[in-house]
Chain A
Amino acid sequence: MSEQRTIAVTVNGKAYAKTVPVRLTLADFLRHTLRLTGTHLGCEHGVCGACTVLFDGHSARSCLMLAVQADGHDIVTVEGLSPDGGKTLHVLQQAFHDHHGLQCGFCTPGILTTLIELLRDNPDPTEEDIRVGISGNLCRCTGYHNIVVAALEAAKRMLDHRRQRTDDR
């Protein structure tokens, strides 16, 4: 029997306490233990980027972490991006929808979580910034073009929204 540990983690704002095998990856913990299957697993060795989540606000490949390492930490998955628990899309998700930024959707969760961090660190990115930013995420459908268009549009909408809020004050 594999060694086990009890961990306490916050995922998408919700606190969980679970007993897990110590060798369980964070990705499998999210998908199998918590049944949050929005996080996808492609290569499982840190190349494809599909399993990217936000770990204490920073993008990380969840296939390259153990669930026990998340003990006491805060995780956001693609399920946690919606501002109202899934009723409406995040601005970034809406931009992907509007600009056909996905086809099969397998890589999308990892690209969205990666871009959330990028747009937070750099609210007014260039096309080059976006392309470098998602260079660790493989997409076999889109050729990346519409992903970049959607990301730039999301950045613009978020900036406009912020400006509007400032003007309203």
Chain B
Amino acid sequence: MKPPAFSYHDPRSTGEVLNLLTSLDNAKLLAGGQSLMPMLNMRFVLPDHVIDLNRVAELSYIREAAGALESGAIEIGAMTRQRDIEFSDLIRSRCPLMHEAIRQVGHRQTRNRGTLGGSLCHLDPAAELVAVAATLDASITVAGRNGSRTIGFADFPVAYMTPALGPDELLVGARFPCWRDPHGYAFVEFSRRHGDFAIVAAAALIEEDGAGKVTRAALTLGGMGPAPIRAREVEQALIGEIIGEQRLRELCEPLREVEAMDDIHAPASYRRQLATVLSRRALNKAHERIAARAAS
């Protein structure tokens, strides 16, 4: 038997989960299990209590946000399986960046179990869903014993693999604002093998006016540091530009100076090179897709 001994709880509602979180010490929440279970099997974590969220049906949903902004928003429950995100027509049409990214998350077997909330809370610096949340300026809804609160995604990562959650709090869902149609999108990553976490990933969104000038842009780099970073300077420099190969090359050049980590997978210099190249590719792909979507 590989996992350490623990007490097991399988609550049926968010309220029950919060009661357990308040009353139990050293408890771990079990979502899809694709990260926690390996850590239990290797005994990297030794919880006294495991609170299994898999029977909390109310945490699984994909829906249009009621009374949302002009271009709308999608709300996804924490226990929604990555598989359900992958096959959702709503996400494919309204949030194509997430659709493209989710197909690069792990493998069929892991997406069948893995969840949105599990991925966001595990907060791997190169995780695709984390980069998507950063790009879309998602807001995270967290429930605690004193009610619920909303955290902008920019404030969600507080340190390496550490979300801004209290020990008695539960991530219940996230809201992803949609971009106006037709917008351009692309999620491009470099990994050693298909399904691995990326060494570096770039997520791009752009809107253009009738003359082809960029009116809005978002660019996120995953895998560079402890959490995904938004390339704000590049985003601002893109406004008013007409995207072309040579211009993109110039605009992405400053990314060679971005801070990056060294680890067993790649040195910082290689990550900076990837950041520059993948950003250019992602922005170019996003730009081409606006034209393609406008033509169709």
Residues of A within 8 A of B (CB): 2-3, 5, 21-25, 28, 44-46, 49, 52, 55, 58-61, 63-66, 68-69, 114, 117-118, 132-133, 135-136
Chain A, Cβ-Cβ closest to B38: A45
Say whether A23 contacts B3, CB under 8 Å: yes
Instruction: State whether A63 and B41 are in contact (beta carbons under 8 Å apart), knowing that A23-B3, A135-B193 are contacts in the complex.
Output: yes
Q: How far is the CB of A4 from chain B (nearest CB, A)?
A: 10
Say whether B38 contacts A118, CB under 8 Å: no
Say whether B108 contacts A114, CB under 8 Å: yes
CA distance A45 to B37 in the complex (A): 7
CA distance A29 to B112 in the complex (A): 20
CA distance A28 to B107 in the complex (A): 22
The count of chain B contact residues (Cβ–Cβ below 8 Å) is 30
Q: How far is the CB of A31 from chain B (nearest CB, A)?
A: 12
Instruction: State whether A64 and B2 are in contact (beta carbons under 8 Å apart), knowing that A44-B41, A58-B83, A59-B109 are contacts in the complex.
Output: no
Q: Does B149 contact A (CB under 8 A)?
A: no
Q: How far is the CB of A93 from chain B (nearest CB, A)?
A: 19
Partner of A118, one of B8, B34, B108, B194: B108
CA distance A21 to B83 in the complex (A): 29
Q: How far is the CB of A60 from chain B (nearest CB, A)?
A: 5
Residues from chain B with Cβ under 8 Å of A66 in the complex: 3, 8, 33, 37, 52
Q: Does B10 contact A (CB under 8 A)?
A: yes
CA distance A58 to B4 in the complex (A): 27
CA distance A135 to B193 in the complex (A): 8
Partner of A63, one of B7, B37, B107, B195: B37
Q: Does B54 contact A (CB under 8 A)?
A: yes
27 contacting pairs across A/B (C-beta < 8 A): A2-B5, A3-B7, A22-B8, A23-B40, A25-B2, A25-B37, A28-B1, A44-B41, A45-B37, A45-B38, A45-B42, A46-B34, A49-B109, A60-B109, A60-B112, A61-B110, A63-B41, A64-B34, A65-B33, A66-B52, A68-B8, A114-B108, A114-B109, A132-B194, A135-B195, A136-B110, A136-B195
